[in-house]
Amino acid sequence: MTVDNLVYEVVDGWGELPEGWIYTQVPGVAVDNHDRVYVFNRGLHPVIVYDREGKFLGSWGEGVFKTPHGIYIDSDDNIFCVDSGDHTVRKFDVEGKLLLKLGSVGEPGSFGEPFNRPTDSAVSSKGDIFVTDGYGNSRVHRFTSTGELLLSWGEPGDGPGQFNISHGVWVDRDDRVWVADRQNNRLQIFTGEGGYLDEWTGFSLPCTVYIDKLDRVYVSELRSRVSVLSIEGELLARWGGEKSVAPGEFVAPHCAWVDSHGDLYVGEALEGQRIQKFTLRKSEY
């Protein structure tokens, strides 16, 4: 689980579900300012909350979502849940109270317009909301904090600013927008206005990108792999690559997030259907 700099160890059995509960699939995970871990899943209890030790704290969102996909928590602990099945992005507080809804439930937008099976969301330092609209569209949309659409960019293809499933999005401390361009096996980096800056290649169906407080870049890759890189693109750690249900290995990583201690949480979709926690052998946090 290392290249040169970082060594991760799995916490086997982390996150005990109540008796009779199942995830089915775990497309999203996020951690709030109190290190509570929110597992966004496709079972009957879509948002399951744990403390960092894996103790079950509760759940919410029952009966709300059609196809849970991406989850994001901003600096104020607002929780954004992307539903690829009903074409919406919803903003909640930590108790599950709805604060804002983007999109029309059950109504896909016309080509290029929000939303047609959206995938992920992220928030900039100014509070603007960025949404990847990846399955039915090949777009990124930018909204104000109150939900006004400001701009959109992207089209099908494999050139700069084009996407073959814009699947994950992150906004870094400099308000650059990182997009996991899944079927093109790359990350693309843009200005907040959609201007193309750079791309990183060599991934294996990247689903999400997460950047921590040390500017480490975490990429969940659907073909059974997780990669950790520096903000300059140096590979720091990579493991997986062959499908395995063994603890510490992967079937289909779909999401990743890091808590305030540097612990890494990885959720799996398809037949993976689990959440795993990894700790740093020597934590720099």
- Look over the chain and give the mean of its residue pLDDT values, rounded to a whole number: 96
Q: Is residue 76 part of a domain?
A: yes
Q: Give me the domain span that covers residue 23.
A: 8-280
Q: Is residue 285 part of a domain?
A: no
**pLDDT of res. 6:** 84
**pLDDT of res. 280:** 87
What is the Cα gyration radius of the chain? 17
Answer for the pair 29, 36: CB distance below 8 angstroms, yes or no.
no
Pairing mode, strands 129-133 and 139-143: antiparallel
- The helix/strand/coil state of 184 is helix
- The helix/strand/coil state of 270 is coil
- CB count within 10 Å of CB 173 equals 10
Mean pLDDT, residues 65-92: 98
Q: Is residue 133 part of a domain?
A: yes
Mean pLDDT, residues 99-118: 95
Q: Is residue 73 part of a domain?
A: yes
Q: Is residue 115 part of a domain?
A: yes
Please determine, for residue 2, whether its predicted confidence score (pLDDT) is greater than 80. no
d(CA 57, CA 38): 10
Q: Is residue 90 part of a domain?
A: yes
Q: How many folded domains does the chain comprise? A: 1
**pLDDT of res. 281:** 81
d(CA 17, CA 265): 16
Listed residue (236, 171, 160, 251) closest to 200, CA to CA: 160
CATH number, domain containing residue 190: 2.120.10.30
pLDDT-derived band at 1, boundaries 50, 70, 90: very low
Answer for the pair 31, 265: CB distance below 8 angstroms, yes or no.
yes
Q: Is residue 3 part of a domain?
A: no
pLDDT digits (tens, 9 = 90+) for 43-57: 999 999 999 999 999
Q: Is residue 2 part of a domain?
A: no
Q: Give strand ranges (E) for 85-165.
A: 88-92, 98-102, 120-123, 129-133, 139-143, 149-153, 155-156, 162-163
Answer for the pair 218, 212: CB distance below 8 angstroms, yes or no.
yes
Q: How many helices (H) and strands (E) does the chain have?
A: 0, 26
pLDDT digits (tens, 9 = 90+) for 187-228: 999 999 999 999 999 999 999 999 999 999 999 999 999 999
**pLDDT of res. 179:** 98
